Amino acid sequence: MGEEAKTAVLMKEERIFEPPKELVDQSNVKAWMDKKGFKTEKELREWCSTNYEEFWGEMANDFADWEKPFDKVLDWQPPYAKWFVGGKINMTYNCLDRHVKTWRRNKVAYIAVGEPVDDVRLFTYWDLYRETNKLANALKGMGVEKGDRVSIYLPMIPELSIAMLACAKIGAIHSVVFSGFSAKAYGDRVKDGESKVSITCDGFWRRGKTVPLKAQADEGIADAPSILKQIVYKRTGQDVPWNEGVDVWWHDAVEGQSATCDPVFVDSEDRLYILYTSGTTGKPKGIEHAQGGYCVGPPQTLSWVFDLKEDDVWWCAADIGWVTGHSYIVYAPLSLGATGVMYEGSPDFPDIGRWWKIIQDYGVTVLYTSPTAIRMFMRAGGEWPAKYDLSSLRLLGSVGEPINPEAWIWYRKNIGADKLQIMDTWWQTETGTFINSPLPITPLKPGSCAFALPGYSCEVMDEKGTVVPFGEGGNVVITEPYPSMLRAFYKDPDRYMKTYWEYYWENHPGYYLAGDKARRDDDGYFFIQGRMDDVLNVAGHRIGNSEVESACVSFPDVAEAACIGKPDEVKGEVIIAFCALNAGVVGTDELKTAIYKHVGKELSKIAAPSEIHFVADVPKTRSGKIMRRIIKAKAMGKDPGDTSTLANPEAVDAIPTIV
């Protein structure tokens, strides 16, 4: 990329949705502003981000209980940060132990909804506390000690949360692997982490069928010499292969174990977990997160952004196998003493109304989900949510990828009764918490993640590290440290440095390159445009893939779109669009022409696709990110590589070869 290259900005969003006065006045963040004497949101964000050490020191004492108070808020030696230096803490103590000493002992922590209809279990904080302690004691009996790794390969059932909490209780480091990943993907992560124990289950339900997870776990750990034991939870009751001397049923492991277990209070910088990101190529990266920062960042952001109150029912409809679930299904809501929904199965089983029935049945008040899910529901039609009473909802959220304005508007209208605010969050596995997001007091613009949150510093910069003017695109750069930030790549310091810090190191050591492109409009609102390596170069114009995709999806008949660049001798690249149409729509040449004209009008004729191909679906990761690299490889007649970790690997086969 040349030094003078600029990212074109083609779409503008001028609609503004003001927050209701009642929401503002009763919000958690407004109460803190009033206490501190801040008059405006801008003043709040700027003061907290400029004085971030003072701010985070106060948040650390507001949101976490410390066994030993910290001596210093921050020791920043780029690219390594130590937060709450000298403090001793335990994540599970903050999530469970402190609550069972209060009235929250009998409060529901999880409403666990299985995929089979009427399969519902309620777990109080007392239930979680006792079950976590019994498993923690079982792990200790298997030789697991502070700093040891435990690999967890479980579906969306409460036992996954219990397994994580049991590890944290004794100072062990958990490595959760998404249950949709392949046996090889699990095995690679087990071996890299040198885990002592594997925790899995016999199987789980997906679209009415059982997935044989135990067999996959066995295959994964077959050549993992570090594994001493494998704990198997009985979920479906299906027959499973059994490895004598290694396998032990969960119920047998915890039988006779004490329901009390003293927490191991660890140094603030001791590791809480490793989470492997799949990456676009090569070996997965083991992202390390620390106990102290995680006790502070996730609960603080959840409290301020989603405004959780004691009587809320929170539903983060992600999977715990991803960072969203780590932070906002397990650690943040439990630390706050919240009630959360956990759903095991598919959103379209037994029909596409399943989510809306769950909201109706359990009085969900705050929903946090992905644009991919929203577009899936859009495709099915607004008549589905209209069948259910969604009046309990008071706030909505978006995560995982940029949300296109049309999906944002549909979400607000059909799920939010055309009145609920949407907290559109931008963050990463590496950050551990939201970085950019509206607050309940923020006027919203569809498709925008607003501003850097209080206590965080985020800019849009050119290749030299200069902040670009409003209206221009550039690289997303985080310029100051924060408590929940990644601490390292497991056993790979060189890659840690090269991936995030090297880009700006010469002139700005400590500037973190997020890998995303964005622009800020005239009011300073951030609009994420997509990954740096997902930018099209058409006749000298650098165009964000996501903007072209968003323009395609704004055409009424298009449900989803993926855009790639095809080499062109004249223009450098031309844009190829793969469009999935709404149910019942037939793909015709006339429709292609209409989409082409629409994109040209919405963005620019330069951004209009030179080819449009209709597909049943576009390949995506489990977290909803469109896998353009795989699409491009398949379209160019090359080997797309391992597709087993995709949410819909069958979609790859349907991508036509275009060369």
SS (H, E, C) 41-91: HHHHHHHHHHCHHHHHHHHHHHHCCCCECCCEEEEEECCEEEEEECCEECH
Let me know whether 540 and 587 are in one domain. Answer: yes
β pairing state of 229-233 and 197-201: parallel
Q: Is residue 106 part of a domain?
A: no
Above 50 in pLDDT, residue 1?
no
Counting residues of the chain whose pLDDT is more than 70, the rounded percentage is 96
Token pair for 65 = 């209980």
Tell whether 629 is covered by a domain. yes
Q: What average pLDDT does this structure show over 225-234?
A: 98
DSSP letter, residue 436 = B
| Residues 251 and 284 grouped into a single domain | no
> Is position 48 within any domain?
yes
Which residues, in sequence order, are bridge partners of residue 568? 572
Name residue 513's amino acid. L
pLDDT digits (tens, 9 = 90+) for 26-49: 999 999 999 999 999 999 999 999
Residues 394 and 465 in one domain: yes
| Residue 196: partners with Cβ closer than 8 Å, 6 or more residues away | 142, 143, 144, 148, 149, 150, 226, 227, 228, 229
Give the pLDDT score at 95.
98
Q: How confident is the model at residue 239 (pLDDT cuts 50, 70, 90)?
A: very high
Which residues, in sequence order, are CB contacts of 493 under 8 Å at separation 6+?
A: none
Return the structure tokens found at 651. Answer: 């979609």
Coil, strand or helix at 529: strand
Q: Which domain holds residue 564?
A: 534-653
513 and 582 share one domain: no
Q: What is the mean pLDDT of residues 639-648?
A: 81
* Domain identity same for 306 and 421: yes
* 257 and 305 fall within a common domain: no
Which of 250, 266, 282 marks a domain boundary?
A: 266
The pair of structure tokens assigned to 420 is 């609920």
Per residue in 439-473, pLDDT (tens digit) is 999 999 999 999 999 999 999 999 999 999 999 99
Regarding whether 548 and 472 lie in a shared domain, the answer is: no
**What integer is the mean pLDDT of 526-549?**
77
DSSP string, 326-347: IIIIIIHHHHHT-EEEEE-S-T
Q: Which two tokens stand for residue 116?
A: 């089979």
- Given a contact cutoff of 8 angstroms between Cβ atoms, the answer to whether 455 and 83 are in contact is no
Q: What is the pLDDT of residues 375-397, one digit of tens each?
A: 889 989 999 999 999 999 999 99
Task: Tokens for 2, please give them.
Answer: 């040349």
Matching residue, tokens 């008059």: 39
Q: Is residue 569 part of a domain?
A: yes
Chain centre to alpha carbon of residue 176 = 14
* pLDDT band per the 50, 70, 90 thresholds, residue 284: confident
The CATH number that applies at residue 445 is 3.40.50.12780
Q: Of residues 13 and 249, which shows the higher confidence score? A: 249
User: To 10 degrees, the CA torsion angle through 575, 403, 336, 484?
Assistant: 30
Q: What is the pLDDT of residue 568?
A: 83
Instruction: Choose between 69 and 285: higher pLDDT.
Output: 69
> Residue 10 — very low, low, confident or very high, per pLDDT cuts 50/70/90?
low
Instruction: Identify the pLDDT of residue 646.
Output: 81
Measured CA to CA, the distance from residue 89 to residue 64 in angstroms comes to 9
Are 503 and 405 part of one and the same domain? Answer: yes
Beta bridge partners of 306: none
- Find the helix or strand (DSSP H, E) in which 323 lies: helix 323-325
Distance from C-alpha of 71 to C-alpha of 53, rounded to nearest angstrom: 13
| Residue 587: both structure tokens together | 């793909």
> Could you give the CA distance from residue 211 to residue 158 in angstroms, rounded to a whole number?
18
User: Is residue 5 included in any domain, yes or no?
Assistant: no
Closest CA to 482 of 238, 310, 293, 213: 293
> What is the average per-residue pLDDT within 56-64?
98
Element (H, E) at 233: strand 229-233
**Structure tokens given for 214:** 């135990």
- Structural domains in the chain (count): 3
Could you give the CA distance from residue 197 to residue 218 in angstroms, rounded to a whole number?
12
> 395-398 and 366-369: which strand pairing?
parallel
616: domain CATH number is 3.30.300.30
Final residue before a domain boundary, out of 209, 240, 266: 266
Here the CATH number for the domain that contains residue 240 is 3.40.50.980
Where are the alpha helices (H) located in 450-588, listed in sequence order? 493-496, 545-553
Shared domain check, 178 and 234: yes
Which range among 403-407, 427-431, 492-496, 619-623 shows the weakest confidence by mean pLDDT? Answer: 619-623
Query: pLDDT value at position 12?
Result: 67
Residue 104 forms part of a structural domain: no
**509, pLDDT greater than 80:** yes
pLDDT digits (tens, 9 = 90+) for 178-196: 898 888 889 989 999 999 9
114 lies in a domain? no
Give me the mean pLDDT over the 523-530 stretch: 91
CA distances to 217, 278, 477, 492, 493 from 178, in Å: 12, 11, 28, 22, 25
Judge if 256 and 295 occupy the same domain.
Answer: no
When the pLDDT of each residue in the chain is averaged and rounded to a whole number, the result is 93
Transcribe 94-124 into DSSP letters: IIIIHHHTSGGGGSEEEEEE-SSTT-EEEEE
Residue 6 pLDDT more than 90?
no
How far is it, in rounded angstroms, from Cα 537 to Cα 527? Answer: 19
Give yes or no: residues 178 and 239 share one domain.
Answer: yes
pLDDT tens per residue, range 291-308: 999 999 999 999 999 999
- Among the candidates 525, 542, 562, a domain finishes at 525
For residue 460, give the nearest of 544, 539, 390 by alpha carbon.
544
Residue 617: inside a domain, yes or no? Answer: yes
Please answer whether residues 343 and 373 qualify as being in contact, where contact means their C-beta atoms are separated by less than 8 angstroms: no
Token pair recorded at residue 186: 């699990």
Q: Are 288 and 246 within one domain?
A: no
